[in-house]
Amino acid sequence: MTDGPAPPSGEIDLTRPSAARVYDYYLGGAHNFAVDREMAQRAIEMWPDLPLIMQANRAFLRRAVRFCVAQGIRQFLDLGSGIPTAGNVHEVARKFAPDARVVYVDCDPVAVVHSRNILDGDELTSVVEADLRDPAKVLDSPGVRSLLDLSQPVAVMMVAVLHFVPDADDPAKIVAGYREAMAPGSFLVMSHASQDGQPDKAEEHQDLYRRTPTPMSMRSKPVVTGFFEGFDLVDPGVVFLPLWRPESLEDVDEHPERYTGLAAVGRKP
């Protein structure tokens, strides 16, 4: 494996790992650097299930996108999208709805550059460099306004990202900022790291992420459920990743709690 993709121009700190690029490594992607792989390997040594957890998270994303498309959704806002490698939102959606429009939003400049390279020439996608913690700025960005019609239903994706927003930034208020801009019939898709499944490993894992620009806050089921205020939870509600509408019972692990991540989809009435 090479040391990673050529870094984009500009003042970007490549001496510290990035959550987006570490996630890309977990998924088998090539858009990561030695510092990201080093952190990922340390995390895997502490928690060998991590790659399986990340794959379960990506599988949830695919099922949720298919669900939203089946409900008539044709536009998606993917917040904290990372790097849209294989199996991401636009690829899944367009298997069933070729006209699906997707805006990817991330605050990692390297992830944004690689996303734009990957999606160059795709007129139904846009990549916005912005911080999801500022809903007004994200929603008013040219990349969003030019591609999405927020007077119509949209799926807002917060998949494996809100746990990087600390309590001090009031994540519930951030979610509410997007909810207020969403038309009735829109969906909120969320997965979130939780200490509920394996509390003995949670603190050590959070400590590792404190060394990155994006420290992690693993939260309980009641807290994650609270983020869906103003939405009607889609059955089966807030559950461990493999339990959200699995394609078959064979896809459900005997101990779904080992995946630690919680997943849910809510509909705005």
Domain ranges of the chain: 49-267
Tell me the C-alpha distance between 266 and 269, whole Å.
9
Return the pLDDT at 268: 98
pLDDT band at 64 (very low <50, low <70, confident <90, very high): very high
Return the pLDDT at 156: 98
Range list of β-strands (E), the chain? 75-79, 101-106, 125-129, 155-159, 187-192, 232-233, 239-240, 262-267
Return the pLDDT at 4: 43
**Residue 129: other Cβ atoms inside 10 A:** 17
Answer with the residue of higher pLDDT: 45 or 201: 45
Flag the least confident range among 35-39, 70-74, 75-79, 221-225.
35-39
Percentages of the chain per state (helix, strand, coil), in multiples of 5? 40, 15, 45
pLDDT band at 95 (very low <50, low <70, confident <90, very high): very high
CATH of 49-267, one of 3.20.190.10, 3.40.50.150, 3.30.930.10, 3.40.710.10: 3.40.50.150
Exposed e or buried b per residue across 83-108, where buried means at least 16 C-beta atoms within 10 angstroms of its C-beta: bbbeebbbebbbeebeebbbbbbbbb
Flag the least confident range among 97-106, 146-155, 171-180, 197-206.
197-206
Using the predicted structure, report yes or no on whether residue 49 has a pLDDT greater than 50. Answer: yes
The rounded mean pLDDT for the chain is 86
Whether pTM exceeds 0.75 = yes
pLDDT in tens, 10-20: 445 677 887 77
Return the pLDDT at 81: 92
